[in-house]
Amino acid sequence: MAEGAVLLHGFAKPVEVDLLADLRDIVEQAPFRHMVTPGGHQMSVAMTNCGGLGWVTDRTGYRYDADDPETGKPWPAMPPSFRELAEQAADHAGFGGFSPDACLINRYQPGARMSLHQDEDEEDFAAPIVSVSLGLPAIFLFGGLKRSDTPRRFRLQHGDIAVWGGPARLRFHGIAPLADGEHALLGRQRINLTFRKAL
Ligand code: SIN
Ligand code: FE2
C-alpha cells in the first residue's frame, strides 16, 4: 500500500472458525458498545477489546485502560488464535517480534464508518498496527502523514490483514460508510480486529 504498509490478502481465512468462536466468548464477557468521543459524538462503530489493555473513549478523552468501564472488570484475555495470527501477519509484513498487548474490536453495521485518524495513543510507535478484516467488505481509506493528504482506497475483504508500521505508522486512515450486504459467516456486519502494542 505504501512504504511500511502491506495488505495480506486472505491471510486470516485459514483460522476464521477459531477467530469467530473466540470472538463470541469475548463479546459475552465484554459486549459491543457505542462509545462517545471527547467531542460528545456517539461513534457509529460499536467497540469492545481484548488483551491486557483496551482502547476507550469518553467525554474525558482517549486512553488505554486495563478495565472495561462498562463492567469494571479487566478486558477478556487475548486468545492465542488472535495473538498468533497477529504475530504471524506482522512477521510476514517484515515486522518481526511484534507482541501486541491490546486488541480493539470494531463492529460495523451498514452505514457505520470511521473518519480519518492516526493511531497515536500508543507509547511506542516502533511496533506496527495489525488490522484483520472479517465479514462484509469495506473500503479502507489510507492517507498520508498529513490530514489533508488525499487517501487512497483499498477494498478490504473477509480474511484480509493490513499491516502498517515504520515510515507508515502514523498515516491517517479510516473506513468509508459500510455498504449493506450479507456475509456467509457474519451476516450484515463487518468485524475488524486491530492489534497494537500500547505500552
Ligand atoms: C481502526 O482504524 O481502528 C479501524 C480500521 C478498520 O476498521 O479497518
Ligand atoms: Fe485506526
Residue 114: which CATH number? Answer: 2.60.120.590
Nearest CA to ligand 1 atom 3: 194
What is the per-residue pLDDT for 110? 98
DSSP letter assigned to residue 66 = S
The reported pTM is 0.97
DSSP letter assigned to residue 147 = T
DSSP letter assigned to residue 92 = H
Q: What angle do CA 64, 98, 133 make, to 5 degrees?
A: 70
DSSP letter assigned to residue 15 = G
* Number of domains the chain is built from: 1
What is the per-residue pLDDT for 98? 97
d(CA 113, CA 110): 9
Nearest CA to ligand 1 atom 8: 192
Q: Which residues contact 1 (CB under 8 A, 6 or more apart)?
A: 7, 142, 152, 154, 162, 164, 168
Q: What would the grid cell of residue 62 be? A: 482517549
Show the ligand 1 pocket: residues with CB < 6 angstroms.
104, 106, 114, 131, 140, 173, 175, 192, 194
CA of 187 to the centre of ligand 2 (A): 24
CA of 21 to the centre of ligand 2 (A): 24
d(CA 46, CA 166): 29
CA of 149 to the centre of ligand 2 (A): 16
Q: What would the grid cell of residue 179 be? A: 455498504
What is the domain extent for residue 169?
Answer: 5-196
What is the per-residue pLDDT for 124? 84
What is the per-residue pLDDT for 17? 98
Q: What is the mean pLDDT of each run of 10 residues along the chain (199 residues)?
A: 97 98 98 97 98 97 97 98 98 98 98 97 94 98 97 98 98 98 98 97
What is the per-residue pLDDT for 78? 98
Helices (H) and strands (E) in the chain, counts: 2, 12
CA of 45 to the centre of ligand 2 (A): 12
